[in-house]
Amino acid sequence: MGLLGRDIFGLIFLVIVFAFTRTGEAQSRSFLINCGTNSSITLSGRKWVGDLATNNNLTLSSSGIAASTSTLSDDSTYGPLYKTARVFTNGFNYTFQGIKGNYFVRLHFSPFSFDNYNVNESSFGVVANGLKLLSEFSVHGEISDKNAYLQSSGSNSSSSLIKEYILAINLDLLVIEFIPAKGSFGCINAIEIVPVGRYTLCRTS
């Protein structure tokens, strides 16, 4: 009985190892990025690395503006992550290296006003490896629309937004390009890039 148990355990162990190695080194990597800061934050056991932290296979095209707020967003899960953002008035690129395969790319927005940047006036486009994801995007406008819907269905309103995409990346490189509308600016609170597949299904189950 004991022997049989060990054998079954051993078999399961081998199957799992095989599944992980088969997906390949590059494909199994995730990027959890905390924008607008050099410090990392751990939420529900997942570490979000500051976008200014060095040596993380991520490069920023310029320093942009690191914005922060002392007000905690009402979003309980991601609240601490949403206290910082990167704000940019010109084209701004995040370049991720060593990334190949199919990925969920989630852009997290939880706008707050900072200095003279009124979040209600922000408008920008987002392009990933040449593919247009968003154009003339207003975070404020979309959150208002979302809240109108939430209120009509009797739910609490929200101050944040996650835009999710599935991207097939075959360059070993992902460039996420933010392009503010003329005279406007863009902002981003966090970027989450996780492989589509077994690992993701295990994590969310």
First CA to last CA distance, the chain: 30
Cβ-based nearer residue to ligand NAG, 42 or 97: 97
Helix intervals (H) in 35-161: 139-152
| Alpha carbon of residue 94 to chain centroid | 11
Q: How far is the CB of 120 from ligand NAG (least distance, A)?
A: 4
Q: Residue 89 or residue 93: which is nearer to ligand NAG going by CB?
A: 93
Question: Which residue do the tokens 């981003």 mark?
Answer: 188
Sign of the CA dihedral with 199 first, then 200, 204, and 205 last = negative
Closest-CA residue to 51 (of 196, 190, 200, 204):
190
The torsion angle over the Cα atoms of residues 60, 127, 28 and 38, rounded to 10 degrees, is 30
Classify residue 47 by its DSSP letter.
Answer: E
Round to whole Å and give the CA distance between 28 and 101.
9
Residue numbers at the binding site for ligand NAG (CB under 6 A): 26, 38, 55-57, 61, 91-93, 97-98, 113, 118, 120, 140, 144, 155-156, 175, 177
At closest approach, how far in Å is the CB of 135 from ligand NAG? Answer: 16
Give min distance, CB of 33 to ligand NAG, in A: 12
Stretch (H or E) spanning 15? helix 2-22
Q: Which is nearer to ligand NAG, 6 or 156 (CB)?
A: 156
Which residue, judged by CB position, is nearest to ligand NAG in the bound state? 98
Cβ proximity to ligand NAG: between 135 and 144 the closer is 144
Nearer of residues 11 and 113 to ligand NAG, judged by Cβ: 113
Instruction: Round to whole Å and give the CA distance between 159 and 143.
Output: 7
Q: Residue 44 has which token pair?
A: 């529900």
Cβ closest to ligand NAG, residue 118 vs residue 203:
118
Running DSSP on this structure, what letter comes out for residue 27? G
Smallest gap, in angstroms, from Cβ of residue 49 to ligand NAG?
A: 9
CB of 15 to ligand NAG, least distance (A): 26
Compute the least distance from the CB of residue 148 to ligand NAG, in Å: 11
